[in-house]
Amino acid sequence: MTDQIFIIAAYGMIILLSVLALVTLGVFFWALAAYIVDVRQTRHTVRRNFPVIGRFRYFFEHLGEFFRQYFFAMDREEMPFNRAERSWVYRAAKKVNTTISFGSTRHLEIPGTVIFVNSPFPALKQDFAELQPVTIGEYCRTPYTTASLVNISGMSYGALSKPAVQALSRGAKLAGCWMNTGEGGLSPYHLEGGCDIVFQIGTAKYGVRDSIGGLDDDKLHDIAAIEQVRMFEIKLSQGAKPGKGGILPAEKVTAEIAAIRHIPQGEASISPNGHPEIRSVDDLLDMIGHVRAVTGKPVGFKTVLGDLGWIRDLCRAVQQRGPESAPDFITLDGAEGGTGAAPQSLMDYMGLPLAQALPMLVDVLDEYHLRPRVKVICSGKLITPDRVAWALCVGADFVVSARGFMFALGCIQSFQCNKNTCPTGITTHNPRLQRGLVPADKAQRVAHFVDTLVQEVGMMAHSCGVDEPRKLTRHHARMVQPNGEAKLLSELYGSDQFHPGSEIQFSED
């Protein structure tokens, strides 16, 4: 028996040594081939000067994205979203405790930091009010009335995977918020959850385009006939790439996505930089009026501000035409907005950040007495209670978020959105990677994220002394200045003439 065990062990050792020898031989021949290739190629200096080992530079550079966020970065120093922000969303989405201990890790002296004005007489529980309904599109045949505060921003089916869209749709229904389709058209997965839908008309008019890329009124009418579709948003530009059309890589244009968008399968989907038929503010108002006439539903536009001149021109044109000609809403995206694919030169350098653009837009609309006629929806890294509360203080009616909901779905900020390799299944059409995203589970997390975010914005509003978030004003927040002084937003921008929280009073009068 001992001899048999010895023989088996000996054979096992021989096999193991043989395998190791083969692996070593394979590595040797690979290294030899790599060496020959590296010293002969002329494109990569590092590989030419340091053959074989130079190849590991690219491997470690790729891994660096992941190692930084787990091992090296501090809680508040990463971009575009730091660990503290992501952690809050993850905990909110899982409905676990969002409290912390031993003090804030946030630096309160940095210029631009927003600090809220706590009231000596905060709202008491018996005074808390429910979010009041807001009506968008009073001149439409079918206005849209909703109390939702935080909603899902435009993310196309194509940029997002099927299970991601399914989870968002179901989660939006559970949370009672709307979901924007993004420019990629309306898929069955947007509708299956039963949530309210905002249909976005991008520059390529996917889903409502004719054979030459123009607007097809019959398709537009068919989309409007779907009860879940509540509003239409004409996209002029988005935060990550103002002046550049949407980009969907060819490997993401599957047969189903091609059919929804009415484009060829397997070819990159690149939208025009702008709408060919919208070259002035009058053209824009004409398009808004046309879509509203065909659909009977509220119509607005999405834009990034770089200058206020054209907004003033738009307001003057509305005054000449009459209030019924105004957009029912304006969705303002900050330059810090995100996307799956955009040129770095546009993402880094084009457009105004929301912190500057939002008060400018609100003030111009006030100047021309176009509020509450025109509702203001805003987006741009608004994923935590402080950012949402700030937007309400400045004058927003609604907040929308894209990346916040991606985090709620499980996004780990792996920077793979512009490829087909998203490890969490959110922005990939690889079935193996999609398998990890279970819509039923993630829908609950989407709903929890909305509920917790709204609840904590309400908590901040109560601390400021008002009974519900939409009553926050510019007197309720300060911003740290370069000299260290924290000035009221009302001092920096001027007092908000009309504020969403006063709309109910406005209508009764």
What is the CATH number for 499?
3.20.20.70
Of 29, 54, 72, the last residue of a domain is 72
Q: What type of residue sits at position 187?
A: S
Of 50, 72, 94, the last residue of a domain is 72
Q: Give CA separation, 324 vs 119, 126, 289, 462, in Å.
A: 40, 40, 9, 36
- Does the global pTM surpass 0.85? no
pLDDT at 339: 63
153 with 28, same domain: the answer is no
- Rounded to 10 deg, the angle between the 439-463 and 385-394 helix axes is 60
By the 8 A CB rule, do 330 and 137 touch? no
- Rounded to 10 deg, the angle between the 309-321 and 354-367 helix axes is 30
By the 8 A CB rule, do 42 and 32 touch? no
327: in domain: yes
64 with 136, same domain: the answer is no
101: in domain: no
Pick from 288, 306, 308, 305: which is nearest to 297 by CA? 288
pLDDT at 127: 78
Q: Give CA separation, 176 vs 99, 105, 337, in Å.
A: 25, 33, 24
* Alpha-carbon torsion (132, 460, 122, 464), positive or negative: negative
What average pLDDT values come out for the chain (509 residues) when binned by 10 residues? 68 79 85 85 68 72 57 55 74 81 74 91 84 94 96 89 93 96 92 96 90 90 96 89 74 82 81 90 97 97 93 96 97 79 74 92 95 94 92 96 87 70 78 82 93 94 93 94 91 72 39
221 with 290, same domain: the answer is yes
350: in domain: yes
DSSP class per residue in 251-295: GG--HHHHHHHTS-TTS-EE--SS-TT--SHHHHHHHHHHHHHHH
CB atoms within 10 A of CB 168: 28
pLDDT at 506: 31
150: in domain: yes
Q: What type of residue sits at position 419?
A: K
Pick from 231, 181, 230: which is nearest to 205 by CA? 181
Pick from 333, 386, 418, 414: which is nearest to 70 by CA? 414
Count of structural domains, the chain: 2
Q: For residue 80, how many C-alpha atoms fall within 13 Å in the half-sphere facing its CB? A: 19
pLDDT at 251: 75
64 with 132, same domain: the answer is no
63 with 129, same domain: the answer is no
145 with 29, same domain: the answer is no
11 with 144, same domain: the answer is no
336: in domain: yes
77: in domain: no
26: β partners: none
92: in domain: no
Report the C-alpha gap between 177 and 132 in whole angstroms. Answer: 14
Burial of 469 (0-12, 13-18, 19+ CB in 10 A): buried
pLDDT at 507: 33
169 with 234, same domain: the answer is yes
Of 51, 72, 93, the last residue of a domain is 72
150: β partners: 399
Report the C-alpha gap between 433 and 421 in whole angstroms. Answer: 8
248: in domain: yes
Q: What type of residue sits at position 353?
A: P
Question: Cα-atom radius of gyration of the chain, to the nearest Å?
Answer: 26
pLDDT at 148: 95
Report the C-alpha gap between 4 and 182 in whole angstroms. Answer: 69
CB atoms within 10 A of CB 467: 16
Question: Domain range for residue 57?
Answer: 2-72
Task: Show the CA angle centred on residue 486, arms to residues 484 and 491, nearest 5°.
Answer: 130
pLDDT at 505: 36
For the chain, the residue count is: 509
Report the C-alpha gap between 228 and 82 in whole angstroms. Answer: 35
7 with 135, same domain: the answer is no
45 with 134, same domain: the answer is no
pLDDT at 290: 97
18 with 143, same domain: the answer is no
Report the C-alpha gap between 188 and 141 in whole angstroms. Answer: 25
Q: Give CA separation, 193 vs 171, 196, 199, in Å.
A: 8, 9, 15
Report the C-alpha gap between 122 and 61 in whole angstroms. Answer: 50
24 with 142, same domain: the answer is no
Residue appearing with tokens 């991008």: 202
Q: What type of residue sits at position 99?
A: T
pLDDT at 32: 87
pLDDT at 147: 94
